[in-house]
Amino acid sequence: MGKMKKYCYGFCLLISIAINILLSINLYVGGENNQRSLLSWSEKAAAEAEEVAAISCSGHGRAYVDGLVFEGQPVCECYDCYGGSDCSELSPGCAADAESGDPVFLEPFWMQHAADSAVVISGWHRMSYRYADYTTMSKELENYICKLHSLVGNAITEGRYIVFGIGSTQLLNAAVYALSSENSSSPSNVLASIPFYPMYKEQTMFFNSESFQFEGDTNSWQSNNWTNNMDVIEFVTSPNNPDGELKKSVLGGKTIYDHAYFWPHFTPITGPSDHDLMIFTLSKLTGHAGTRFGWAIIKDKDVYEKVASYISVADLGISKDTQLRVLKLLKVAVEGDGKPLFEFSYNKMRDRWDRLSTVFSKSTRFSIQQRHPLHCNFFNETRLPSPAYAWVKCELEEEDDCGAVLEAGKIIGRSGSRFSAKDRYTRLSLIKSQDDFELLLQRLNELVALENGSIDTM
C-alpha cells in the first residue's frame, strides 16, 4: 500500500513537472510566434482598433475609432437606407443614391488584406516639416508609385518628375497655374471637352486668377478657329468622367491629362501614357477617397518646379501620416505583381456592368454608353471596359430632364448639365458600396419593368 502510494506520488509528480514544462514552453514560444512578447506602447491602440473593428453593424454600416460615441462606446454608422443600432433595418421606400463617385466598392479587398494594410503611427512620427533629404515628399513612396506604374504599364515614369498633391483635386489647379501665361494682360484660356468633370470649371472660376480664365468647350472653340496664336490649356480626361471614353487632345496645345480612371479595373490598358503632364489619384486606384492623395508625372523641369511651388505655397506639402498610409497601401497594391488588387477590382466592376447591361438591354426608354473591347496589356487579354459611371440617356423626346425622370423612380444621379452636357443625360455611379449598387439595380429593374408593363398594355 505504502509502495503504491509512493509510486502514485512519483507518477503524479512526473506528470505535473511535464505540464510545467509544457506551460512554460507555451508561454515562451507561443509568445514569440505571435510577436506577443515584442509589443509594448503600440498594444493599446492596436487593441482599441481591433475592438472597434469587431463591432457588428450587420454588414450595412461600420464603427470607427474616430466615430460617433454613445455612453463612451463607438456606435455603428449605418450606410444609406439602413438604420437601427446595428444597421439591420432597411428603410423600405429609400431612394438609390448613385450621385457621388465614392469608390467604396474596394472596401472588401482591404478587409481581406487587413494585416498587410494596417499602419501604426507613433506619437512622435515625422513631426518635422521635412524628410531627411529636406523635401516634403517621401522618396520611398515615390519609388512605389513608379513601381506600380511599371507593373500596370499605364504610364512612363522614367526620367520624369513626380509631385504629390492633396488628391488629384489640388493638382488640377496647380497644373493650370504652372502652364498658364505669366502675362496678366493676356490670361491663358482653360478648356475641356463636353461632357467634362465639373471641377475643372469650378476651380478655374473660383480662384479668379489674373493668369487664366475658363473658356468652356474645346469643340466650339476649335470650330471657331480661335486657337491661332491663343494661349490654351486643355484638360483631357482619359478615361473620361462621366462617360468612360478614352479621350485625346482636341486642340493639340498645352494639355493636362487627368488619368484618375486609367487603371485596369475601369479600362483595358493598351499601353503606357507618355504625356507632358499626367495626373493620377489614390481615390480611384485603391478606393481611398478619404485619404486625400494624388500625384502628377511631369516631363518639363520648369513646369515641375511651378507645380511644386504651388503645393508648397498652398499648404507646405502633404501630411506625413497620409504619406505613410499611402505607402502601406501601395505596398499591398504591388503584391503579386498587382494581380490580387486588380483582379478583385476588375471582377467587381465587370460583374456590375454585366448586371447593369442586362437591365438596360430590356429598355428602349433608357440607354447607356457603348463599350468597345480593347486589348489589355496588363491582363494580356482583350476585354470590355467597365467604367466607373453609367452615362444614361433618356431616349423619349419629351423626357429631356433625365435626372428628374430617374428621381421619380427613386434613383439619384448627377445631371448632364453638371458636366456641361444636356440634361437628357445623367451619370450613375457604379463604384459605391455593394448595398448601394444592389439598391440601384433594384430601382432600375423596377423602372424598366414599369416601362415594359406599359408597353404590354399599349
Tell me which residues in 346-385 interact with its own copies (CB under 8 A): none
Nearest to its own copies of 38, 404 (CB atom) = 38
- Under 8 Å between Cβ of 207 and 348: no
169-199: b (≥16 Cβ within 10 Å) or e:
bbbbbbbbbbbbeeeeeebbbbbbbebbbbb
Nearest to its own copies of 162, 402 (CB atom) = 162
29 touching its own copies, by CB under 8 A:
no
Q: How far is the CB of 348 from its own copies (least distance, A)?
A: 14
Element (H, E) at 10: helix 2-25
Q: Which of residues 329-348 bind its own copies (CB under 8 A)?
A: 329, 332
Candidates 94, 95, 230, 314: give the one binding its own copies (CB under 8 A). Answer: 314
* Partner residues linked to 167 by β-bridges: none
Nearest to its own copies of 169, 445 (CB atom) = 169
Grid look-up 498652398 returns 314
132 touching its own copies, by CB under 8 A:
yes
Candidates 70, 71, 72, 122: give the one binding its own copies (CB under 8 A). Answer: 122
Q: Which stretch binds its own copies (CB under 8 A): 252-260, 313-321, 410-418, 450-458?
A: 313-321
* Residue 17 CB partners (closer than 8 Å, separation 6+): none
Candidates 88, 249, 319, 445: give the one binding its own copies (CB under 8 A). Answer: 319
Q: Which stretch binds its own copies (CB under 8 A): 255-263, 286-294, 376-384, 440-448?
A: 286-294
Within 10 A of 83 (CB to CB), how many other CB atoms are there? 16
* Partner residues linked to 240 by β-bridges: none
Q: How far is the CB of 271 from its own copies (least distance, A)?
A: 30
Nearest to its own copies of 70, 397 (CB atom) = 70
Rounded distance between C-alpha atoms, residue 61 and residue 155, angstroms: 36
248 touching its own copies, by CB under 8 A:
no
Nearest to its own copies of 23, 455 (CB atom) = 23
Q: Which stretch binds its own copies (CB under 8 A): 58-66, 221-229, 234-242, 391-399?
A: 58-66
161 touching its own copies, by CB under 8 A:
no
Rounded distance between C-alpha atoms, residue 427 and residue 259, angstroms: 19
Handedness of CA 6, 7, 13, 14 (dihedral sign): positive
329-340: b (≥16 Cβ within 10 Å) or e:
bbbbbbeeebee
66 touching its own copies, by CB under 8 A:
yes
Grid look-up 507618355 returns 274
- Under 8 Å between Cβ of 37 and 31: yes
Q: Which of residues 198-227 bind its own copies (CB under 8 A)?
A: 199, 202-203, 206-211
Candidates 56, 73, 114, 404: give the one binding its own copies (CB under 8 A). Answer: 114
